[in-house]
Amino acid sequence: MRPENERKLAVGLGLVLLGVATLCYTALSPAAPDEPVRLLFDGSAGDVLFTHQTHAQDYDLECASCHHNLEDGDEIYNCGECHDEGGDAEDYPTTDAMHAQCIGCHDEMGAGPAECAECHATPK
Ligand code: HEC
Ligand code: HEC
Ligand code: HEC
Ligand code: HEC
């Protein structure tokens, strides 16, 4: 093969490999998650780590058992959009609503923490 043709072959091969690499990268990189894996709530009573994905997947809970507003177009809102000041459930503030929902379900299922210190890390 003449040096000129060898160079063309090398460049061509390089371009093919680049194409394959790009395809693999696009196909294999994970899609952005549409639900959080873990959430950390911080506050005066001590941080609370909530294992969101474990709750939804391993504990087999419906999204709507917590996101109880899901009928309008499947859009997920933060609890505070309705339960904090200015929302249509502002008479039932977020902290109370979350306590009622988290502890209420744990009681009902006889599983999951109900004591303050089992959810709240010792405040700094
Ligand atoms: C055990 C209760 C529970 C279950 C089950 C659950 N979630 Fe959540 N999710 C929450 C809580 C609590 C938050 C935090 C809301 C907040 O910060 O006001 C949250 C937050 C979210 C957020 C982030 C909202 C934002 O904008 O910050 C998304 C998205 C979401 N959940 C999707 C889902 C989907 C999809 C499912 C079902 C596969 C699901 N959740 C199941 C309790 C739950
Ligand atoms: C789109 C608005 C909206 C969102 C978002 C919302 N709520 Fe509510 N929630 C309401 C309304 C309205 C009520 C009933 C009125 C009242 O008691 O003030 C209610 C009532 C509740 C109740 C009382 C029992 C029940 O089911 O009726 C709990 C507990 C509760 N919400 C927890 C939560 C939690 C936790 C979140 C976030 C994961 C959340 N809510 C998100 C509007 C909302
Ligand atoms: C609809 C039911 C339900 C709701 C709502 C719920 N949980 Fe749970 N939770 C469970 C179950 C079931 C377990 C599993 C207990 C076991 O297997 O020992 C659990 C376990 C836990 C645990 C210990 C294990 C782990 O995964 O970390 C923590 C902490 C916890 N929940 C925090 C919360 C918090 C905080 C909220 C509210 C934001 C919440 N949960 C709302 C059902 C629920
Ligand atoms: C099942 C888990 C769980 C248990 C048990 C629990 N909490 Fe909480 N607590 C939470 C979560 C989640 C929040 C965050 C809600 C929010 O963002 O408003 C919170 C918020 C609070 C806040 C508001 C903090 C702030 O600065 O905004 C106080 C105060 C509090 N909890 C006190 C208590 C006390 C006292 C107990 C025991 C009697 C208790 N909690 C038991 C999960 C729990």
Binding site membership of 106 for ligand 1 (Cβ less than 6 Å): no
What are the tokens at 108?
A: 């009902």
Do residues 35 and 50 lie in contact, with contact meaning Cβ atoms separated by under 8 Å?
no
Ligand 2, atom 43, residue with closest C-alpha: 82
pLDDT, residue 24, reads: 47
Binding site membership of 102 for ligand 1 (Cβ less than 6 Å): no
Q: 61-112 pLDDT, tens per residue? A: 999 999 998 776 668 899 999 999 999 999 999 999 999 999 999 999 999 9
Contacts of 64 (CB under 8 A, 6+ apart): 70
**Mean pLDDT (whole number) for 30-46:** 83
Do residues 111 and 103 lie in contact, with contact meaning Cβ atoms separated by under 8 Å?
no
User: How does residue 12 score in pLDDT terms, banded at 50, 70 and 90?
Assistant: low
CA angle 68, 105, 55 (to 5 degrees): 75
pLDDT mean across residues, the chain: 83
CB atoms within 10 A of CB 92: 13
Q: Which atom of ligand 3 is nearest to the CA of 61?
A: 1
CA atoms within 13 A of residue 81's CA, in its CB half-sphere: 7
Binding site membership of 46 for ligand 3 (Cβ less than 6 Å): no
